[in-house]
Amino acid sequence: MQFSKKEKQFWQKHYHLDKPSQLHENWDQIWSIDGNEDDDFFYFFTLRVTSIVDVHLKGSEITDKAVEYMLKFEQLKNLFLRRHQNITKASIPFFNEMKNLETLDISKTQITLTDLCEDLNNQSLKQVCLNEDEDEENVEGKLAVMRERMPNCEIILY
C-alpha cells in the first residue's frame, strides 16, 4: 500500500522515509522532550505502526486525542506523558483500555488523584505517577480506594 500525499509528507518530515517498505510496523519506543509531536503526528504514526513498547513524551503538543490514537499500539507497556497540560481526565478511559500497560506517568497534566479515584481501573498497571495537588482533600482515603481497586499498582505522588 502506498503513502497518501499527506502521509508521505509526514514520514519524510519526521523520519526521512519515502516508501512504506522502509517502515517497520513494530517499534520499541518513541522518545521526545519538548518536541513538536501533536495529535496529527500520532494520527499518521498509528496508521502504520501497530506495536510499540515505550512512549516517553515530555512537553509535546498532544491532547487527549493523541492518547486515543495510542490505543492502536499493541504491547504498549510504558506510557510517560509528563508535562502535558492538554491531557485531561478524558484520557482515563483510554488508559483503561490499554491492556498491557504497566507504567503510566501523567505528572504535570490536568489529571488529579480524584479523577483517577473516580475512573481509573486498569488491572495491568503496576505504577502510576502524578503530581499531588495541594488543594486535594482526603488524599489518604483516595489512595486507599485506589489500592483496593488496583492492589498490584503503586500510586506515586510527586
Which of 50, 51, 32, 41 is CA-nearest to residue 7?
Answer: 41
Question: What's the pTM?
Answer: 0.93
- Residue 34's domain comprises 5-10+24-157
User: Taking 80 as the threshold, does the pLDDT of residue 73 lie above it?
Assistant: yes
CB 73 within 8 Å of CB 49: yes
pLDDT digit string, tens, across residues 20-69:
889 888 899 999 999 999 999 999 999 999 999 999 999 999 999 999 99
The total of structural domains in the chain comes to 1
pLDDT digits (tens, 9 = 90+) for 135-144: 778 899 999 9
User: Is 19 within the bounds of a domain?
Assistant: no
pLDDT digits (tens, 9 = 90+) for 33-44: 999 999 999 999
Which CATH number does the domain housing residue 87 bear? 3.80.10.10
146 inside domain: yes
C-alpha cell at 114: 480524584
Q: Which helix (H) or strand (E) holds 14?
A: helix 5-15
Q: Whole-angstrom Cα distance, residue 45 to residue 144? A: 38
